[in-house]
Amino acid sequence: MKIYSKKDLNEHSLSLTYDDISLIPTEISQVRSRTEVNIKSTFLGIEMSVPVIASPMDSVCGIDMARELNSLGCIGIVNRFDSSLKQMFSDEESSKGIQAVSVSLTAEDELLEKIAEKKMLVCIDTANASNAHVLNKCEEIKKKYDVKVILGNIASGATLKQLVNAGADAVRIGIGGGSMCTTSVQTGIGIGQVSSLLDVYFTRKKQKLNIALIADGGVKSPGDVAKAISAGADIVMLGRMLAGTKETPGEVIKYSDQLWKKYRGSASFGVKMKGEFIEGEETMVPYKGPVRNVINAISDGVKSSMSYLNCESIDDLRNKDHFAILSTSSYLERLPKK
């Protein structure tokens, strides 16, 4: 079996996803148990207990989710469709515990001023960051306000330098990989999440660019979070893994003796206006209870992965460089059997 480095994976002839790769322990671990592992990190000046950030989707992250994730040492980006944003900024108590807010290209100065006053992160929430209008908006915000700006999304590192020149502090990596995203099907755009992440990672390294990398899309398990970090991500954005939890926007629905909550893509019919082009789906996901349970599971999973790999810190995990490429049978073999 060939052991692959990040460089090998980046040069692979096929586009790779998290399901296509596995981390390989290649040394004797000195870690007694996962309780000894430290997964604390810093993202754009924010101290984090778990390297997780919630996607600014209207069925994932509203004010309640953002506040709860903050209390857990994560970040939630309040979605730009949230009707209570103005009320939040008018009420000092409501804005506590909020670290990031997403905005559109038409965001008003009044909103941006309030975000800047609160020292929150700004996420310009678009499907394609490689766009002149997105870069112009980023430049405009950076000139007017003292804020950190997240741009998204990109599928490769081809335009990364232009994003940095426009003032972007972080970038969301991944087009078409989200579970509710149909962009690749509708447009033919997008590559596997691992390949996207690696291409941007090596572009940043080669060009010596100062920008944080967010792995956005395709993450289904704590193991995928560990893979993303090892492949170069500074932080991992989650949508479906957080969907259906108590803190997500929307009501709990009872159907067929089971509890459910709505989950939909930001370009789905329910979000976009009638007659607009749709690049997202809608579905119902089982109710999961408090998001704290999901974050704890991710924390435990990443720590366990690190204990196998002899990693005591997140930086140790980022420096790991031993992967396997899985055949379909290899992937299926490791799935739980009922």
Give 184's pLDDT tier (boundaries 50, 70, 90).
low
Looking at residue 235, what is its pLDDT? 98
Distance CA 185, CA 202 (A): 27
Cβ atoms within 10 A of the Cβ of 334, count? 10
Strands (E), 217-333: 235-238, 253-255, 258-264, 282-286, 323-325
Give 269's pLDDT tier (boundaries 50, 70, 90).
very low
Distance CA 128, CA 106 (A): 15
- 115 vs 57, 85, 109, CA distance in Å? 18, 10, 10
Distance CA 296, CA 64 (A): 18
pLDDT exceeds cutoff 70 at 223 = yes
| Tokens (6 digits) for 53 | 């950030």
Give 174's pLDDT tier (boundaries 50, 70, 90).
very high
Distance CA 267, CA 273 (A): 10
**What burial class does residue 287 get, using C-beta atoms within 10 Å of its C-beta: 0-12 exposed, 13-18 middle, 19+ buried?**
middle
- 316 vs 10, 143, 281, 335, CA distance in Å? 20, 36, 37, 27
Average pLDDT over the chain, rounded to an integer: 92
Question: Torsion angle of alpha carbons 23, 24, 26, 30, nearest 10°?
Answer: 60
Q: Which of 243, 103, 231, 109 is nearest to 174 (CA)?
A: 231
Domain edges within the chain: 6-330
The pTM of this model reads 0.92
Strands (E), 182-300: 212-216, 235-238, 253-255, 258-264, 282-286
Looking at residue 208, what is its pLDDT? 98
Tens of pLDDT, residues 97-134: 899 999 999 999 999 999 999 999 999 999 899 999 99
Looking at residue 272, what is its pLDDT? 46
Tens of pLDDT, residues 287-328: 999 999 999 999 999 999 999 999 999 999 999 999 999 999
Tens of pLDDT, residues 15-47: 999 999 999 999 999 999 999 999 999 999 999
Q: Which residue has the tokens 């940095």?
A: 164
SS3 315: helix
Percent of all residues in the chain with a pLDDT value above 90, rounded to a whole number: 80
CATH of 6-330 given 3.90.105.10, 3.40.640.10, 3.20.20.70, 3.40.50.1000:
3.20.20.70
What's the per-residue H, E or C state across 78-115? ECCCCCCHHHHHHCCCCCCCCCEEEECCCCCHHHHHHH
DSSP-assigned letters across all residues of 148-189:
-EEEEEESSSTTHHHHHHTT-SEEEE-SS-STTB-HHHHH--
Residue 79 in contact with residue 62, Cβ under 8 Å?
yes
Give yes or no for a cis peptide into 310 (omega within 30° of 0): no
pLDDT exceeds cutoff 60 at 241 = yes
